[in-house]
Amino acid sequence: MPSDPFVLAFDTSAAHCAAAVICGERVLAVRVEEMGRGQAERLMPLLEEVLTEAGIGWSDLGLIGVGIGPGNFTGIRISVAAARGLALGLGIPAVGVSLFETTMNLSNLAQTAVPAPREQFYFLDPDKMREPALSERLPDMPIALSSEHTPGDHVVMAARIAAKRGDGGMPPAPLYIRPADAAPASDPPPVILDA
């Protein structure tokens, strides 16, 4: 049994389902499937396939890393809920890793941006900002774009960041920069009858 833990990382924050297993510096398996919808149904079978490809089972895992966004509202919730449930069921920690963190580590640039809907960007300059912001254009400075790397690159980096962070402390939580693009229900709420 290796001294480094087996780390499973996965992400469904965009139009993909991505997963990787690492142990120390070794990448044992990576799988990315592009999909506009259906991540909730595909995630668990994909994780099973990645574990099988890595030659390990659920009980061999020591840590879970999960992409927390920014990205698709529902996609982020799928991954975070799965990670929290797996961590609870397996008795191992889960660590949330943002797309800003993976981009920063892949690019060696602190200032990062993630494409957002309507040709906008989520931007983070950790030297000057406490939280990311939504912007219509990027500042005039060297900036690493998350789209410069593949979902496979990001999920492997998420596993590496999770491994460095260890137990993570708090359970992973979604990173939402703006409210969901959902209209409130137009139907009136149901009437609750007292017996």
Q: Each residue of 11-52: pLDDT tens digit?
A: 999 999 999 999 999 999 999 999 999 999 999 999 999 999
Q: Which residue is listed with tokens 């996609």?
A: 75
Question: Which tokens go with 193?
Answer: 């009858």
Q: Is 12:39 a contact under the CB 8 Å cutoff?
A: yes
Cα separation, 105 vs 189, in Å, equals 47
* Per-residue model confidence (pLDDT) at position 68: 97
Overall average pLDDT of the 158-178 stretch = 88
Q: Each residue of 67-106: pLDDT tens digit?
A: 999 999 999 999 999 999 999 999 999 999 999 999 999 9
Cα separation, 87 vs 127, in Å, equals 32
* Per-residue model confidence (pLDDT) at position 1: 45
> Candidates 3.40.50.10210, 3.40.449.10, 3.30.1330.60, 3.30.420.40; correct CATH number of 6-98+150-165?
3.30.420.40
Cα separation, 13 vs 166, in Å, equals 22
Domain ranges of the chain: 6-98+150-165
Average predicted confidence (pLDDT) for the chain: 92
